[in-house]
């Protein structure tokens, strides 16, 4: 399997090369030359556990890794040390709809699904490409990527990780996680700006020739753990197959079309669902759920993509995104003609038109609808969902096809957002402290606070640097 840039450079790369490089030299994203056809049926796959599923899927894409290397990466990622659920990504069923819980990893968010394996892909890829340089993992985060990438890369040999987060754009708990992160190779820096500003600057730094030359002099080079890395995209395809085959195992007929509702930010998760569909998984609609930053909803409604609009901070911060990076891969796969023109529009925040593919439908939830969804699901099923999952639930209701089999992709544990979740259930929690609310949430649901959060509020703060957007470059230089 060869990989190419979305921006038209005709150079072919191996999977290992794309994992190390992260982003293409022309600023594009790497895409596989074709989407492979799944070699097994859902019924055959229903006998697989998560790890055999993962190995099977990854082998379709990382054809330059041998079987033993893939198995080793998979087992280093998906194990009891990193995940608290025995089958990694379990389904939670309610009478109408099933929730695919992707939040049983170290940082309780779906980013762990890919970021627990990416560092192992990268180590293997560095060996395969005989690359002796220290990899500087440079990342802008709207919250979850940062925490999860830090956990994944901490103390991984041959890497240093630098995470930039919008100072006021992440939750109290996410911030606490990041600024207390241990590990000899980790650096966390706050940014005065929003996520899109930080992400744009990170993209610019990646391509800055002078900065890259300085890195080289120091035996370093940039790499990315952001959702544009092929090493993150591919592992996200696994759980669509796994979820589907779990439904088959539970008695669903093998070819039943299933909808997946995906709370969407950078368009990585839902794009993996699209790839799963193109591989042959019987997915009906991919329901793209947005919060009030509804640039994707507007596109799926009108066929016009336009990110020039005011930015909203919402209770689902990982979806507060106006320029969804992975959308470029969809543009690439849908337009054979003037791709470049559209992509330029995407990166320069201008608008363009593109016929809407029938595989998708978009809905969005306001803040009030998000809170109402949390309250409703808890009231009806005693099941607490986080604000991102609640946006997806609200989208599911707006889609209004209760007769169709549907899976809601649940991307974070409610424990990550205690204030929003608890005050949605009952206004009396509104003025409680986030950390006290963790205990109250456990009481309400008769569970324990997840071990990942124990003692978080008393950990020493190790990272307190905050910079403006144009100081990010010097912060990087200081660190290397
Ligand atoms: C990252 C994230 C999303 C958005 O996923 P994308 O792949 O960026 O679309 C949704 N919910 C949570 C909790 C996340 O961390």
The response to whether residue 320 sits with its C-beta less than 6 Å from ligand 1 reads no
User: 110 CA to middle of ligand 1, Å?
Assistant: 7
Q: For position 144, what pLDDT does the model report?
A: 76
Pocket test for ligand 1, best of 224, 264, 293 (most atoms within 8 A of CB): 264
Ligand 1 atom at minimum distance from 388 CA: 11
**What average pLDDT does the chain have?**
94
Q: For position 162, what pLDDT does the model report?
A: 96
Pocket test for ligand 1, best of 139, 141, 265, 414 (most atoms within 8 A of CB): 265
What is the C-alpha to C-alpha distance for residues 192 and 167, in angstroms, rounded to an integer?
A: 6
Q: For position 226, what pLDDT does the model report?
A: 80
Closest CA to 91 of 451, 383, 373: 383
Pocket test for ligand 1, best of 104, 144, 165 (most atoms within 8 A of CB): 144
- Residue for token pair 């979850």: 144
Strand pairing class (186-192; 159-166): parallel
The response to whether residue 266 sits with its C-beta less than 6 Å from ligand 1 reads yes
Give 185's pLDDT tier (boundaries 50, 70, 90): very high
Ligand 1 atom at minimum distance from 265 CA: 9
Q: Which phi and psi (to 5°) does residue 378 adopt?
A: -70, -45
User: 468 CA to middle of ligand 1, Å?
Assistant: 25
Q: Which two tokens stand for residue 330?
A: 């969809």
The response to whether residue 265 sits with its C-beta less than 6 Å from ligand 1 reads yes
Q: Stretch 54-79: mean pLDDT, rounded?
A: 98
Per-residue model confidence as pLDDT tens digits over 194-219: 888 998 999 899 889 999 999 999 99
Ramachandran assignment for 446, one of left (phi > 0), alpha (psi -120 to 50 degrees), beta (any other): left
Per-residue model confidence as pLDDT tens digits over 274-284: 999 999 999 99
> CB-side exposure of 471: number of CA atoms within 13 Å?
10
Give 146's pLDDT tier (boundaries 50, 70, 90): confident
Q: Stretch 335-345: mean pLDDT, rounded?
A: 77
What is the C-alpha to C-alpha distance for residues 480 and 476, in angstroms, rounded to an integer?
A: 6
User: 411 CA to middle of ligand 1, Å?
Assistant: 7
What is the C-alpha to C-alpha distance for residues 110 and 105, in angstroms, rounded to an integer?
A: 8
Closest CA to 11 of 25, 1, 23: 25
Q: Stretch 286-307: mean pLDDT, rounded?
A: 97
> Does the pLDDT of residue 241 top 90, yes or no?
yes
Per-residue model confidence as pLDDT tens digits over 348-357: 777 899 999 9
Q: For position 348, what pLDDT does the model report?
A: 76
> Does the pLDDT of residue 234 top 80, yes or no?
yes
Classified as helix, coil or strand, 1 is coil
Distances in Å between the Cα of 435 and the Cα atoms of 171, 174, 250 are: 12, 12, 38
> Does the pLDDT of residue 336 top 80, yes or no?
no
The response to whether residue 319 sits with its C-beta less than 6 Å from ligand 1 reads yes
Q: Stretch 249-263: mean pLDDT, rounded?
A: 97
Give 174's pLDDT tier (boundaries 50, 70, 90): confident
Sequence-ordered list of residues with C-beta below 8 angstroms from that of 443, at least 6 positions apart, any chain: none
The response to whether residue 144 sits with its C-beta less than 6 Å from ligand 1 reads yes
The response to whether residue 269 sits with its C-beta less than 6 Å from ligand 1 reads yes
Q: For position 337, what pLDDT does the model report?
A: 59
Q: For position 143, what pLDDT does the model report?
A: 72
Q: Which residue did the predictor score with more confidence, 390 or 336?
A: 390
> Does the pLDDT of residue 169 top 90, yes or no?
no
> Does the pLDDT of residue 138 top 80, yes or no?
yes
Q: What's this model's pTM, rounded to 2 decimal places? A: 0.93
Q: Which two tokens stand for residue 236?
A: 């996200």
What is the C-alpha to C-alpha distance for residues 380 and 388, in angstroms, rounded to an integer?
A: 19
137 neighbors 476 (Cβ within 8 angstroms): no
Q: For position 280, what pLDDT does the model report?
A: 97
The response to whether residue 272 sits with its C-beta less than 6 Å from ligand 1 reads no
Q: Torsion angle of alpha carbons 333, 110, 120, 87, nearest 10°?
A: -110
User: 109 CA to middle of ligand 1, Å?
Assistant: 8
The secondary element (H helix, E strand) that includes residue 139 is: strand 134-140
* Most confident listed range (118-122, 334-338, 345-349): 118-122
Q: Stretch 227-234: mean pLDDT, rounded?
A: 94
Q: For position 346, what pLDDT does the model report?
A: 77
Ramachandran assignment for 8, one of left (phi > 0), alpha (psi -120 to 50 degrees), beta (any other): left
Give 65's pLDDT tier (boundaries 50, 70, 90): very high
408 neighbors 98 (Cβ within 8 angstroms): yes
Long-range (24+ apart) CB contacts under 8 A made by 72-77 are 72/120, 72/124, 73/117, 73/120, 73/121, 73/124, 74/117, 75/51, 76/117, 76/120, 77/116, 77/117, 77/120, 77/235
178 neighbors 163 (Cβ within 8 angstroms): yes
What is the C-alpha to C-alpha distance for residues 108 and 344, in angstroms, rounded to an integer?
A: 35
């Amino acid at each position: 399997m060869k990989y190419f840039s979305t921006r038209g450079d005709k150079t072919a790369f191996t999977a290992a090369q794309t994992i190390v490089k992260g982003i293409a030299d022309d600023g594009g994203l790497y895409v596989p030359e074709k989407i492979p056809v799944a070699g097994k049926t859902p019924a055959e796959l229903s006998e697989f556990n998560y790890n055999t599923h993962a190995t099977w899927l990854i082998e379709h894409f990382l054809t330059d890794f041998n079987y033993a290397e893939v198995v080793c990466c998979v087992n280093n990622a998906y194990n009891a040390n990193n995940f608290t659920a025995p089958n990694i990504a379990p389904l939670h069923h309610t009478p109408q709809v099933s929730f695919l819980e992707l939040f049983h990893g170290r940082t309780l968010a779906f980013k762990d699904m890919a970021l627990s394996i990416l560092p192992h892909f990268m180590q293997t890829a560095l060996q395969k490409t005989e690359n002796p340089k220290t990899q500087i993992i440079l990342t802008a985060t709207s919250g979850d990527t940062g925490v999860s990438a830090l956990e994944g890369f901490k103390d991984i040999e041959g890497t240093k990780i630098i995470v930039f987060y919008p100072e006021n754009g992440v939750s109290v708990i996410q911030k606490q996680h990041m600024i207390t992160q241990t590990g000899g190779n980790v650096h966390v820096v706050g940014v005065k700006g929003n996520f899109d500003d930080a992400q744009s600057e990170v993209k610019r730094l990646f391509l800055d020739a002078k900065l890259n030359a300085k890195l080289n002099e120091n035996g370093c080079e940039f790499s990315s753990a952001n959702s544009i890395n092929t090493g993150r995209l591919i592992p996200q395809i696994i759980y669509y197959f796994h979820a589907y085959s779990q439904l088959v195992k539970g008695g669903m007929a093998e070819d039943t079309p299933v909808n997946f509702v995906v709370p969407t930010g950078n368009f990585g998760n839902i794009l993996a669902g699209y790839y799963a569909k193109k591989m042959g998984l019987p997915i009906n609609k991919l329901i793209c759920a947005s919060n009030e930053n509804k640039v994707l909803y507007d596109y799926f409604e009108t066929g016009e993509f336009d990110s020039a609009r005011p930015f909203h901070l919402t209770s689902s911060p990982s979806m507060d995104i106006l320029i969804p990076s992975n959308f470029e891969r969809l543009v690439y796969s849908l337009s054979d003609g003037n791709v470049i023109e559209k992509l330029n529009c995407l990166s320069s925040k201008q608008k363009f038109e593109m016929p809407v593919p029938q595989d998708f439908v978009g809905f969005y939830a306001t803040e009030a609808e998000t809170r109402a969804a949390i309250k409703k699901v808890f009231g009806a099923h005693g099941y607490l969902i986080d604000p991102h999952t609640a946006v997806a639930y609200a989208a599911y209701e707006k889609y209004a096809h209760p007769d169709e089999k549907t899976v809601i992709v649940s991307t974070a544990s409610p424990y990550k957002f205690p204030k929003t979740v608890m005050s949605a259930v009952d206004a009396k929690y509104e003025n409680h402290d986030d950390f006290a609310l963790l205990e109250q949430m456990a009481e309400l649901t008769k569970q324990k606070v997840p071990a990942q959060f124990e003692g978080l509020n008393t950990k020493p703060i190790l990272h307190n640097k905050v910079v403006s957007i144009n100081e990010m470059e010097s912060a990087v230089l200081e660190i290397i």
